[in-house]
Amino acid sequence: MMKSALGSCFLRGNYPNFGRKELFCSVSCSSRSDLFTTAAGFRKRGMVKIQTSQNAAMKKETFVLALFLLCAALPLAQAAFTEKLTVQVYDQLFRPVEGAEIYADYQLNSVSGYTRTAPKSTNVSGQVEIVITNYEEIESSTKYSYTLFVKYGNTVNSTALTAEANRTSNSRVVTLRVPAYFLFVYVKNQKGSPLNALVSIDQKKRQTNQVGLALFQVPRGNFTVRAESANSIGSAVVRNLESDQTLSIEVGIYSLVVFVADDNRNPLQATVEVEGFSEETDGQGIASFANLSMEAPSVIVKHGDNFRRFTPNLRASPKLEAVFDLHKPIIKELHATVSDSGVGTISLFVEDPGTLATGVESVSVTYEANGVESSVPAYSIGYNSFEAKIASQLPNTLVKYLVRVTDRESNTVSEAGTYIVSPDVPVSPTNTTNGLPKLPPWQPGNLPTEAIILGVIVAAIIIFAAVYYMVKMRRVAPPS
């Protein structure tokens, strides 16, 4: 069978009217001689006229123009074959596979060799149409065989095909198979109720239906499934999927109501921060949050220079109280008693008022006797009742004491008192040393008066003895 080929020729020379030195024309003929024969036939039939009055150069250019017009008028070369394919893709259970990529490797012509079509994806019915066109002009150089590929996930399957030369308009149906599985994704909230959520696997996205279901067809492999509803996100990982599976994702959508008050339950103006959101409390001391994604979010409540941190369990309760204890404790019934041996006992009753008060944290007692300050521990002897013992002092000693009470909010109150040791207190080993008055321990910068007087007397005795010794030694020394 003789096939029409695209003949071509170059006409070289000067063609000033065209601004070029060479022109190219192409026409569908069997040979170059056929090309000029055809052009001559056009000229003979009057389709192209050349004026005899023109000079030779002008005639040559006019003839070239006629050839170009002839090339434009003649039909283009015919393709060796065009194959229209309707590709149907099924999974292992003959269910249509959507989203599979189809492409083919085929010969473009003998010069360019083989090429590949752009990938096209199957539709929801698992079908896609592609067209393969071979432009080779020489029958003996035409390759009718080609390869059709299907890619789904990491799986690539192929089949070898041979084009049918006489097929023109009807599509050729080709069936391919790849492994694919259905993933049934149910989305619910923390109470188990279905959610309207957007579910995504890689680039695939599905909206859940009224029962919270989103259906995906996916290839073999590992996947991260993500579900979004309002501001909340839930996710799950599927590993080594090799069969149809059902997956449940919980997307927690929590609410939080924060009540801020003082220790008397009076509402406070405060700033509440939760998961990057910030709200000011209203006149009732309440700040509300909705659509929180975390079951145990970090909550910061700020009032003035104070702040509180909480990590509430919203699954257990959506309510949170933040209390700022703004009032100091109260000291009641503070008094001192002195035993016959001179030991002082400080007694007091304390109270941290308010229905939401944080309570007493510590009680401390310091005292001063004979210019020396000391501290003693206070002990609980009952509900909010405390005592502190001060060591025995000399008769007629004035003891000054100070009581400090601090609550858990670091609010501190202090109250002072005094007592005098009775002159009838006997001097005993508890308040004396070797029969001399017992002096309090020395502390830097706070030397007792008695110690100073005793030091002066001792120093004077030492100096007098030294002088006396030196004078005596001079009197008994031998003459020189």
Residues 366 and 424 occupy one common structural domain: yes
Distance CA 144, CA 421 (A): 124
Tokens of 475: 């009197």
Higher pLDDT: 444 or 365? It is: 365
Distance CA 262, CA 282 (A): 15
Residues 300 and 243 occupy one common structural domain: no
Q: Are strands 20-28 and 6-15 parallel, antiparallel or unpaired?
A: antiparallel
pLDDT of 177 > 80? The answer is yes
Total of domains in the chain: 5
CATH label of the domain that carries residue 337: 2.60.40.10
* 87 inside domain: yes
Average pLDDT, stretch 145-164?
94
* 478 inside domain: no
Which domain range does residue 199 map to? 181-250
* 453 inside domain: no
Residues with Cβ < 8 Å from 127, sequence gap 6 or more? 86, 87, 88, 89, 96
What are 57-70's pLDDT values in tens digits? 555 555 555 555 44
Residues 363 and 312 occupy one common structural domain: no
CATH label of the domain that carries residue 156: 2.60.40.1120
Average pLDDT, stretch 4-24?
41
Of 324, 339, 367, the residue at which a domain comes to its end is 324
What are 284-305's pLDDT values in tens digits? 999 999 888 888 999 999 999 9
Q: Are strands 213-218 and 101-109 parallel, antiparallel or unpaired?
A: unpaired
Distance CA 87, CA 174 (A): 5
Buried b (16+ CB within 10 A) or exposed e, 296-330: ebebebbbeeeebebebebeeebebebbbbbbbbe
Of 121, 144, 177, the residue at which a domain comes to its end is 177
pLDDT of 7 > 70? The answer is no
Residues 170 and 220 occupy one common structural domain: no
What are 311-328's pLDDT values in tens digits? 999 989 999 999 999 999
* 396 inside domain: yes
Neighbouring CB atoms inside 10 A of 420's CB total 14
Residues 63 and 16 occupy one common structural domain: yes
Contact between 320 and 259 under an 8 Å Cβ cutoff? The reply is: yes
pLDDT of 53 > 80? The answer is no
